[in-house]
Amino acid sequence: MTADDPAASHRRGRIGEYQIQASVAALHDQAARHADTDWPRILTLYSLLESITGNPMARLNRAVAAAMAHGADAGLALTGGLGDRPGDHHRLHSVRAHLLEQAGAEKAAIAEFRAAAARTANLRERQYLTTRAARLAAGRAGRSGA
């Protein structure tokens, strides 16, 4: 496998989850800027990783890649049914919150940011998520005149 061709290992029939993860990392590393990231290829790799491992976090990462490649709604569609697979994990709620915010569903995003904050043991993450929810709620209140 080379950084220029993350699928080379797959063509040789020697692909595993670590090769796929390395390929994703290589694609991120190749991008000089966030906007240059090859999200369609990363999406393909996460799809392959999910099919090999069945890991719900691979599915969650696939949802993020889908959103980056095709928009928030594409990512949200992939988060459906994950609620009981990774447990009630704060990362699922956090990803859903960000995607809902991008999709313009602010009320639902606020609820997901709050759900994520309630489920993380990391104080910094909790503060970040709580602040995001509060800022969205304040913006909604300001626009509604409340």
Q: What is the pLDDT of residues 12-27, one digit of tens each?
A: 667 899 999 999 999 9
In the chain, the amino acid numbered 95 is V
> 133: domain range?
83-146
Question: What is the predicted pLDDT for the residue at 117?
Answer: 96
142 and 87 share a domain?
yes
119 contacts 90 by C-beta, under 8 angstroms: yes
Q: Does an H or E element contain 118, and which?
A: helix 106-119
pLDDT value at residue 1: 43
Q: Do residues 91 and 61 share a domain?
A: no
Residues 60 and 108 in one domain: no
Phi, psi torsion values for 89, nearest 5 degrees: -75, 140
pTM equals 0.81
More reliable by pLDDT, 32 or 84 = 32
Q: Quote the pLDDT of residue 78.
A: 93
Q: Please report whether residue 1 resides in a domain.
A: yes
In a shared domain, residues 2 and 63: yes
Does 132 map to a domain?
A: yes
In a domain, 60, yes or no: yes
64 and 118 co-located in one domain:
no
- What digits encode the pLDDT tens for the residues 64-121? 999 999 999 999 999 987 765 545 789 999 999 999 999 999 999 999 999 999 999 9
User: CB-based burial of residue 62 (10 Å sphere; 0-12 exposed, 13-18 middle, 19+ buried)?
Assistant: buried
